[in-house]
Amino acid sequence: MWWVGVLLLSLASRAQSLEKLNMCMDAKHHKKEPGAEGQLYQQCAPWKDNACCTANTSAEAHDDNSYLYNFNWNHCGVMTNKCKKHFTQDTCFYECSPHLGPWIQQVDQSWRKERILHVPLCQEDCHSWWDDCKDDFTCKQDWHYGWDWTTGAVVEWVESFRFLCVHITKELTWSTHTNSREEGTTTPHPPQEAEKKCRVQREALKIVKDSSHLSHRLFTLIPLGKRCRCTKSGTNRTLNSFYPQAIRLMNYLH
C-alpha cells in the first residue's frame, strides 16, 4: 500500500503547483483572485480572460505619470515610445498575470504584503529592451527608493551612466569613452576632439528640440540676438560640465 501514499503525495504536490500558476499576489492594486475582465487596455489585453488586474488598472499602466506608483517615466527628459513600451509591458505583466506564484515572496511594506523576485526574462526580450532603451536617460541607478519629487530633483547622484559614448561622473566632468565600440573593427577611429564636438552638437540639438527637457532654456536664443545664453557659475563643477561646452559650440555654429 506504500504506493498509494506516494500517489497521494504526488497528487497533492501537483495540485499545489497548479494553484501557484493561478493566483494573485497580495499587493496594492491586485484583485483577490484571478478572473475574466472582459476588456483590458492595449498591452494588458493578453490577460483579459484570466487577470489579476482590473480594467482601470490596465488603463493606468499606460499613463506616463500614473497613480499606480506615483512614478513618472519622463523623469529625465521624455522617454521614447519604443523604450516606454517595455516598461508598460512589464507593468501589465506584474499587475495582471496570474502565473507568478512560484516567484512570490513575503515582504513587510506599507503598500504591499507580497512581491515577485527573480522572474526569468527571455533572452530575446532582454536584448530588445536594451536596444530600444539604450539612448534614453534616467537620473538614478535604483528606482525603488530615494526619490524627491517636491523639488523636481533626485536625492542621490548617479556615479556614471551612458551618455552618447561619453563618460559622465557625479561631478559633471567628462572624458571620451571609447570602450563601448566594437573591438576588432577595421574602421579607423575619427579624431577624438572632432568626435566629441559631434556628440556635443547632437545632444544639444536634441535638447533644443525637446521643450520639456530640464535644460531646454539654456539653449534658448536671447531676445535681441542670435546667440544662446551664457552660463555664469562660480563652481568648477558647472564650468567644466557638458553645458558650457555645448552652448559655446551652438553659439559658434550660429
Q: What is the pLDDT of residue 223?
A: 60
Take residue 99 and report the three cell numbers written for it: 502565473
DSSP 187-242: SPPPPHHHHHHHHHHHHHHHHHH-TTSTTGGGGSBPTTSSSBPPP--S-HHHHTSH
pLDDT in tens, 2-43: 444 444 444 444 445 557 788 888 878 888 888 888 888 889
Phi then psi dihedrals of residue 220, to 5 deg: -85, 135
> 122: pLDDT confidence band, cut at 50, 70 and 90?
confident
Q: What is the pLDDT of residue 160?
A: 40
Can you name the residues that pair with 167 across neighbouring β-strands? 162, 175
CA atoms within 13 A on the CB side of 2: 0
Distance between CA atoms of residues 56 and 78, nearest Å: 24
Distance between CA atoms of residues 40 and 56, nearest Å: 8
Domain ranges (residues) in the chain: 16-133, 162-180+190-253
Is pLDDT at 65 greater than 60 in this prediction?
yes
Strand arrangement of the beta sheet that strand 166-168 belongs to: 162-163, 166-168, 174-176
Q: How many CB atoms lie within 10 A of CB 242?
A: 20
> 171: pLDDT confidence band, cut at 50, 70 and 90?
very low
Which stretches of 22-107 are assigned E, i.e. beta strand?
A: 65-66, 71-72, 104-106
Is pLDDT at 124 greater than 50 in this prediction?
yes
Of all residues in the chain, what percent carry a pLDDT higher than 90?
0
Q: What is the pLDDT of residue 23?
A: 86
Is pLDDT at 242 greater than 50 in this prediction?
yes
Query: Which range in 44-48, 123-127, 140-144, 192-196 is most confidently predicted, on average pLDDT?
Result: 44-48
Going by C-alpha positions, the residue among 235, 248, 75, 238 that lies closest to residue 172 is: 238
> 226: pLDDT confidence band, cut at 50, 70 and 90?
low
> 54: pLDDT confidence band, cut at 50, 70 and 90?
confident
Of all residues in the chain, what percent carry a pLDDT higher than 70?
51
Cα angle 148, 149, 153 (rounded to 5 degrees) comes to 70
Question: Scanning the structure block, which residue is given the C-alpha cell 566629441?
Answer: 196
State mean pLDDT over 115-142. 79
- One-letter amino acid at 113 equals K
pTM of the model: 0.53
